[in-house]
C-alpha cells in the first residue's frame, strides 16, 4: 500500500490489495484442491474492480444476494450468476429481462412462487437454472431434506416449464457463525453436508449432473474434505473481519479492510478516545471478544498500511457518527485529536455496504453498486 494519510479527512475504508488478492488466490486454489467449483459470493465487496481480481484467478461464475446485484455484475461483464436469495416475485420482470443477458440461477424455498414465476415466463432467450434451498440447520429459510413432496413438486414445476432447469440443492450453513474453532465448524459442516448429500441419492435420477452447492466462509476456510459436493460459494473471505477471527476462520493478518478514522476527542479519566466513525460507517454489528462486546479493533496506520490490532484496545460503543474506543494507558498518550487510527471491522460485509466505496492504494475506487 501507499497511502497519503494527509488526504484522509473523514472515515475512509482502506483495502489492502495484496492481502485481498492473496485471500482470493488462496480460496481459488483451495477449491481446486478440494475438487469443487468456486462460485464466490460477491455480496461482501459489491465492487466491479475487486470482481476483476477474481477474474484474474480464472473465476467465471459468481453468486450474488439480489436481483439488483445481478444487474450490476452483468453490466460488469459477468455471465454466469446465481442469485442466492429466495425468488422475489415482485422482481419477475427484471429477472426475465436479465435472463436474456446472462446465465442465471434462481433459488426457491417453496413451489408456489416458482409456479407463479413459471407462468409469467414468456419470451426469454435462455433457460434459468433453479436451485432448491435446503435448511441444514441454520433455520433461516429453506426446505428440510425430508420435505420430499415439496421438492418433487418443484422439480416437476421445472419439467413443466421448459425454460426452468432444475439444477440441484443449495444450502447456507450460517450456523457455523455460532461455532468457535475448527472442530465445532467441522462438526456442524459435516452434519449439514451429509444432509445435503442424502438428497443426491434421492433425486439424482438423471445423468448425475445434479449440483450440491455449499457456502459459508468458516466452512470453506477450514474444512478439508468436500467429497460428494460440487460447488462452494464463500463471500466474506475476500476481506475477512474480526468476527471471522473469533470464529477461527483466519487470523487478523488476513483482514483486508480497515476503516481509517480521525480522532476527535479524548477522555482522560475513562481512558477513552472518540473517533469520527460510528454506526453509519461500521454498522452496529458487535461480537463478544476476550470477554467484552466490541464493535471493532484498533490499529495504527502508516502510509504502508495498518498494524496488527493493539492489545486491550477496542470500540466499546458506536452511535450514529461517533465511535468510543477504550484504550490501554500506554496507548492513550499516543493519540491526539487530528490523528488517524485504523479500525478492523467486526463484519466487513456490512461495513463495506455502509461505506459504499473503498480507498485502494491511496485512490478512491469507483463506488460499489
Report how many residues bind its own copies under the rule CB under 8 A. 52
Least Å distance, CB 108 to its own copies, is 9
Candidates 16-24, 225-233, 246-254, 345-353; binding stretch for its own copies (CB under 8 A): 345-353
The binder of its own copies chosen from 72, 85, 240, 314 (CB under 8 A): 85
Least Å distance, CB 262 to its own copies, is 5
CA distance readout (Å), 150 to 91, 107, 142, 156, 196:
23, 14, 11, 10, 16
CA distance readout (Å), 176 to 187, 217, 247, 249, 284:
9, 9, 8, 10, 21
Query: By CB under 8 A, is residue 289 in contact with its own copies?
Result: no
Query: By CB under 8 A, is residue 174 in contact with its own copies?
Result: yes
Query: By CB under 8 A, is residue 208 in contact with its own copies?
Result: no
The binder of its own copies chosen from 141, 165, 252, 357 (CB under 8 A): 141
**Nearer of residues 36 and 151 to its own copies, judged by Cβ:** 151
The binder of its own copies chosen from 10, 126, 202, 292 (CB under 8 A): 10
The binder of its own copies chosen from 86, 127, 137, 362 (CB under 8 A): 86
Least Å distance, CB 31 to its own copies, is 22
Is residue 33 classed exposed, middle or buried when 0-12, 13-18 and 19+ CB atoms within 10 A define those classes? Answer: exposed
Least Å distance, CB 227 to its own copies, is 28
Query: By CB under 8 A, is residue 159 in contact with its own copies?
Result: no
201: CB partners within 8 A, 6+ apart: none
Instruction: Kindly list the residues in this chain that would bind its own copies in the complex (CB under 8 A).
Output: 8-10, 43, 65-68, 85-91, 94, 109-110, 112-113, 116, 139-141, 174, 262, 264-267, 270, 274, 276, 279-280, 283-285, 317, 319-322, 324, 336-338, 340, 349-350, 353-354
Amino acid at each position: 500500500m501507499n497511502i497519503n494519510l494527509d488526504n484522509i479527512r473523514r472515515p475512509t475504508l482502506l483495502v489492502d490489495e495484496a492481502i485481498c488478492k492473496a485471500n482470493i488466490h488462496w480460496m481459488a486454489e483451495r477449491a481446486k484442491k478440494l475438487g469443487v467449483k468456486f462460485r464466490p459470493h460477491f455480496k461482501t465487496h459489491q465492487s466491479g474492480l475487486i470482481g476483476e481480481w477474481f477474474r484474474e484467478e480464472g473465476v467465471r461464475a459468481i453468486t450474488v444476494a439480489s436481483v439488483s446485484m445481478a444487474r450490476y455484475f452483468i453490466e460488469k461483464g459477468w455471465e454466469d450468476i446465481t442469485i442466492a436469495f429466495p425468488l422475489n416475485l415482485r422482481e419477475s420482470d427484471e429477472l426475465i429481462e436479465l435472463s436474456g443477458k446472462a446465465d442465471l440461477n434462481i433459488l426457491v424455498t417453496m413451489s408456489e412462487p416458482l409456479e407463479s414465476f413459471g407462468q409469467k415466463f414468456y419470451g426469454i432467450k435462455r433457460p434459468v437454472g433453479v436451485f432448491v434451498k435446503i435448511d441444514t440447520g441454520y433455520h433461516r429459510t429453506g426446505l428440510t431434506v425430508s420435505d420430499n413432496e415439496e421438492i418433487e413438486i418443484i422439480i416437476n414445476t421445472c419439467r413443466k416449464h421448459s425454460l426452468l432447469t432444475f439444477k440441484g440443492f443449495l444450502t447456507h450453513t450460517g450456523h457455523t457463525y455460532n461455532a468457535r474453532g475448527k472442530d465445532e465448524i467441522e462438526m456442524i459442516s459435516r452434519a449439514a453436508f451429509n444432509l445435503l448429500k442424502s438428497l443426491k441419492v434421492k433425486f439424482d435420477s438423471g445423468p448425475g449432473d445434479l449440483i450440491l452447492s455449499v457456502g459459508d466462509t468458516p466452512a470453506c476456510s477450514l474444512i478439508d474434505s468436500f467429497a460428494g459436493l460440487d460447488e462452494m460459494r464463500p463471500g466474506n473471505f475476500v476481506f475477512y473481519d474480526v468476527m471471522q477471527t473469533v470464529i477461527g476462520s483466519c487470523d487478523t493478518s488476513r483482514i483486508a479492510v480497515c476503516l481509517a478514522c480521525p480522532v476527535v476527542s479524548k477522555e482522560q479519566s475513562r481512558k477513552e478516545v472518540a473517533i469520527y466513525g460510528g454506526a453509519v460507517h461500521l454498522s452496529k454489528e458487535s461480537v463478544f471478544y476476550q470477554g467484552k462486546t466490541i464493535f471493532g479493533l484498533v490499529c495504527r496506520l502508516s502510509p504502508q498500511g495498518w498494524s496488527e490490532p493493539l492489545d486491550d484496545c477496542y470500540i466499546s460503543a458506536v452511535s450514529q457518527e461517533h465511535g468510543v474506543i477504550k484504550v490501554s494507558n500506554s496507548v492513550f498518550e499516543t493519540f491526539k485529536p487530528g490523528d488517524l487510527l485504523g479500525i478492523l471491522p467486526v463484519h466487513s460485509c456490512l461495513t463495506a455496504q455502509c461505506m459504499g466505496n473503498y480507498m485502494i492504494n491511496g485512490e478512491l475506487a469507483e463506488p460499489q453498486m
